[in-house]
Chains A and B, each alone.
Chain A
């Protein structure tokens, strides 16, 4: 299948579409990390005292992890050189420091960047009815639709503002799902995070619009340490969108975010992600290291958390959006499409921890690998002793587009209760020749046929995405797939 491989090469060699960088003055602190840097970040953020305390506690813990090389997480099926944590600058904020009231005040360069990405703020504001909290590097520069949300009592703001105005909520919930002791990168994030998003939905409120944040990593050599906290009170509902693209850079950029979700009784949180950061060139040079800890807790009875993700970018993805099903009758869902090409490596999956009775979880993961990439699904389903009548269904399918890539599945099933029903299924295959033949025989070009088949392979997941995202997701997948074949 020579033409197929030829297509593959074309895709592999095609340049990263969103690879440019915006010229805005940024307030960046020198490289390196020590207690003084933590204090500096803290003072730049005008943290209250408790926040500084919490950063230092996390930093001291992180240092003990760093000192003991055995504590550095190496278990994932990924390969990369040791990261020099002193070679990274831990804070970068766009210049023109003051907070913006309206978009007009935003640096025009920024607006241009968004427009190049195909997400004009203005248009989206009007047409899509999406409140956009745009995060460039580490400081929120624009928050829209705030007033509309405020009417419902919804708080949607940058993490910095939340610390300033809703300190009690932040203090109560931050670290309650992902404590700083959780893992190496959670500890690092807890120490140096600069900003992120905060979202609070009061009891009984159905958020009238989809909340959305666009992340972009923008300063060379800058780590992006985001922190997101979503709290859904009893009976509330929110759909949260996170989408990312980053300009092309030669250096590896480290991204270690933490996302925490708390869903109280009967609340529902839907969290959708499109991740399209710079994956590095075809030799594996450059690209973003994406080490993320995402976890939600279904705290109350009947609550539901749903993660949907489309992962196409980053040189390395290390990410396991998880759900702790604590409340009885709570529901956890994980829908994922991970596409790797070039020399990308992804080790991604989920954890479903069933603690409450009659809890159920669904995991559907689709991995597609091309070129010399490696794509692993790693997932844990644990049914605790008290979780009677728990139900889990897991399906993870892999597709290989090429004979030098790898697709791996590492499921862990830990069952401590006899009434549990746990099912796991996985398949690995390539695009069926008969399917290809059928399409081509109907006059569909080889390239279109592959797009069609892969899009069908991912259909289950893409339909889970909210409308606004689904369109973007399909477009992105099509660009990524351009010509790929197995």
Chain B
């Protein structure tokens, strides 16, 4: 039992590839990634960006790579969307609803388009598998995934909803992959959610790559509803062209360990990047949001707003980093993190960092951690509202700030219900 845990994954990789794993056109990418993964190994807490999150217990467990099975999906209340369903990582056309996609929009399975020029030249070039071991692991086990391609000047009126359905009787590892290419002047909204079988124990390791072309706009909403047995690692990498807009909304409700790495590369002028997040945790849930905004070119704007509510023994981590490179003048970058601790045992670690090498910029960050405003509570109680209801009201409005910012209006009600469920 003295083997490195990475060796177990390497053995699994060899087994996986011997059973028609990665499609031939992507095989060399996968081989590079596994090499890199073995070299880097899983992150330890000595690593500055994993300082507050110990992923080792989750990694040390034994997981099965599960095959697709017959399944049903629930979808999300109130959401009318083009739906692409993946069961245990494999595309399930029977469950998907993609008939009404407008012209110029393609939602496909990676298996079907792996030799496509676009995939060949872009897949794996935004999600950094050199330094991020989880991305390397996902890339090594490349098989299927969602590919969304929007041609220039095309605008979608309905969101695309990607559902990852995870079904397994035994502990499972599933590694979803999403690639979105929004060409010049196109616009779309994508919602990503997972559905688990009850009481499943699972680790999902998602990698999402998004390319936003000139004057394009992409809104990406990641809904992460977990149980104490499900852990999620998500690496979302975005590459922005000039005058483009990108917005990410991450909603995390529970889970065992949840780690989000969100990295934005604004590589042209006049980009706008908005990163919002709400995380709610109780029991022993550990939620770690790691963001990195790389302002490589001048005249860009970025804004981050993360809020958290932590109950019981939950732990929250916010680690935001904004990098303004030399000569990237006239950048406006804002970072805010607000957290509420509800119990003596909940903990919050916040590290909003700025790294700035250009002088004509406006960057600011703010972080606050505390409990509910006593005056506010008193006011509500003096109006005859019970303490419990007053608390609920205040926390809902605290969380509501982030929900209201999400452009996918159809999901607001569902998100409020989820907040209420977490506060109960």
Tell whether, in the assembled complex, residue B339 and residue A426 are in contact, meaning their CB atoms are under 8 Å apart.
no
Tell whether, in the assembled complex, residue B362 and residue A429 are in contact, meaning their CB atoms are under 8 Å apart.
yes
Residues of B within 8 A of A486 (CB): 359-360
Whether a CB of chain A sits under 8 angstroms from the CB of B99 is no
Tell whether, in the assembled complex, residue A403 and residue B350 are in contact, meaning their CB atoms are under 8 Å apart.
no
Residues of B within 8 A of A415 (CB): 339, 341, 347-350, 369
Within 8 A of B (CB), among A348-403: 385, 398, 400-403
Cα distance, A77 to B357, chains bound together (Å): 13
Return the CB mask of B343-362 against A: 1 if under 8 Å, else 0: 11111111111111111111
Return the CB mask of A403-427 against B: 1 if under 8 Å, else 0: 1111111111111111111111111
Contact of A426 among B48, B360, B365, B368 (CB under 8 A): B365
Residues of B within 8 A of A426 (CB): 352, 354, 364-366
- Write the nearest CB–CB distance from B333 to chain A, whole angstroms: 9
Residues of B within 8 A of A427 (CB): 362-364
Residues of B within 8 A of A412 (CB): 349-351
- Write the nearest CB–CB distance from A196 to chain B, whole angstroms: 33
Tell whether, in the assembled complex, residue B366 and residue A418 are in contact, meaning their CB atoms are under 8 Å apart.
no
Number of contacts between A and B (CB, 8 Å)?
Answer: 120
Tell whether, in the assembled complex, residue B353 and residue A411 are in contact, meaning their CB atoms are under 8 Å apart.
yes
Residues of B within 8 A of A400 (CB): 356, 358-359, 361
Residues of A within 8 A of B360 (CB): 403, 430, 486
Cα distance, A421 to B344, chains bound together (Å): 13
Whether a CB of chain B sits under 8 angstroms from the CB of A463 is no
Tell whether, in the assembled complex, residue A414 and residue B366 are in contact, meaning their CB atoms are under 8 Å apart.
no
- Write the nearest CB–CB distance from A321 to chain B, whole angstroms: 20
Contact of B356 among A406, A413, A418, A419 (CB under 8 A): A406
Whether a CB of chain B sits under 8 angstroms from the CB of A428 is yes
Cα distance, A421 to B368, chains bound together (Å): 7
Whether a CB of chain A sits under 8 angstroms from the CB of B327 is yes
Within 8 A of B (CB), among A412-470: 412-430
Residues of B within 8 A of A410 (CB): 351, 353
Tell whether, in the assembled complex, residue B353 and residue A402 are in contact, meaning their CB atoms are under 8 Å apart.
no
Whether a CB of chain B sits under 8 angstroms from the CB of A75 is yes
Tell whether, in the assembled complex, residue B359 and residue A401 are in contact, meaning their CB atoms are under 8 Å apart.
yes
- Given that A407-B356, A415-B369 are known contacts, is A424 also in contact with B350, CB under 8 Å in the complex? yes
Tell whether, in the assembled complex, residue A403 and residue B326 are in contact, meaning their CB atoms are under 8 Å apart.
yes
- Write the nearest CB–CB distance from A193 to chain B, whole angstroms: 30
- Given that A417-B344, A418-B343, A422-B370 are known contacts, is A411 also in contact with B352, CB under 8 Å in the complex? yes
- Given that A424-B367, A425-B366, A426-B366 are known contacts, is A413 also in contact with B349, CB under 8 Å in the complex? yes
Whether a CB of chain A sits under 8 angstroms from the CB of B225 is no
Tell whether, in the assembled complex, residue B351 and residue A411 are in contact, meaning their CB atoms are under 8 Å apart.
yes
The main secondary structure of chain A at its interface with chain B is: strand
- Write the nearest CB–CB distance from B373 to chain A, whole angstroms: 10
- Given that A403-B326, A426-B364, A430-B360 are known contacts, is A416 also in contact with B354, CB under 8 Å in the complex? no
Cα distance, A355 to B256, chains bound together (Å): 29
Residues of A within 8 A of B204 (CB): none
Cα distance, A429 to B329, chains bound together (Å): 11
- Write the nearest CB–CB distance from B365 to chain A, whole angstroms: 5
Which one of A406, A418, A421 has the highest number of Cβ atoms from chain B below 10 Å of its Cβ? A418
Chain A residue with the shortest CB-CB distance to B360: A430
Residues of A within 8 A of B344 (CB): 385, 417-418
Residues of B within 8 A of A409 (CB): 352-354, 365
Chain A residue with the shortest CB-CB distance to B318: A413
- Given that A409-B365, A415-B349 are known contacts, is A403 also in contact with B370, CB under 8 Å in the complex? no
Within 8 A of B (CB), among A77-114: 77
Residues of A within 8 A of B371 (CB): 418-420
Tell whether, in the assembled complex, residue A428 and residue B361 are in contact, meaning their CB atoms are under 8 Å apart.
yes
Chain B residue with the shortest CB-CB distance to A406: B357
Tell whether, in the assembled complex, residue A420 and residue B365 are in contact, meaning their CB atoms are under 8 Å apart.
no
Chain B residue with the shortest CB-CB distance to A375: B356
Tell whether, in the assembled complex, residue B356 and residue A411 are in contact, meaning their CB atoms are under 8 Å apart.
no
Tell whether, in the assembled complex, residue A428 and residue B356 are in contact, meaning their CB atoms are under 8 Å apart.
yes
Cα distance, A363 to B329, chains bound together (Å): 29
Whether a CB of chain A sits under 8 angstroms from the CB of B342 is yes
Cα distance, A398 to B348, chains bound together (Å): 26
Cα distance, A415 to B337, chains bound together (Å): 13
Residues of A within 8 A of B345 (CB): 385
Tell whether, in the assembled complex, residue B355 and residue A408 are in contact, meaning their CB atoms are under 8 Å apart.
yes
Tell whether, in the assembled complex, residue A404 and residue B326 are in contact, meaning their CB atoms are under 8 Å apart.
yes
Tell whether, in the assembled complex, residue B356 and residue A408 are in contact, meaning their CB atoms are under 8 Å apart.
yes
Chain A residue with the shortest CB-CB distance to B368: A423
- Given that A418-B341, A426-B365 are known contacts, is A405 also in contact with B354, CB under 8 Å in the complex? no
Tell whether, in the assembled complex, residue B349 and residue A428 are in contact, meaning their CB atoms are under 8 Å apart.
no
Cα distance, A398 to B361, chains bound together (Å): 11
In the assembled complex, 30 residue pairs joining A and B whose CB atoms fall closer than 8 Å, in A order, are A385-B344, A400-B359, A400-B361, A403-B360, A406-B355, A406-B357, A407-B354, A408-B356, A411-B351, A412-B349, A414-B347, A414-B348, A414-B349, A415-B341, A415-B347, A417-B341, A418-B340, A419-B371, A421-B368, A421-B369, A424-B366, A424-B367, A425-B364, A425-B365, A426-B352, A427-B363, A428-B356, A428-B363, A429-B361, A429-B363
Beyond A428-B354, A429-B362, 10 additional contacts (C-beta under 8 Å) are A403-B327, A403-B359, A410-B353, A413-B367, A414-B347, A422-B367, A423-B368, A424-B367, A428-B356, A428-B363
| Contacts from A to B (Cβ < 8 Å) | 75, 77, 385, 398, 400-430, 486
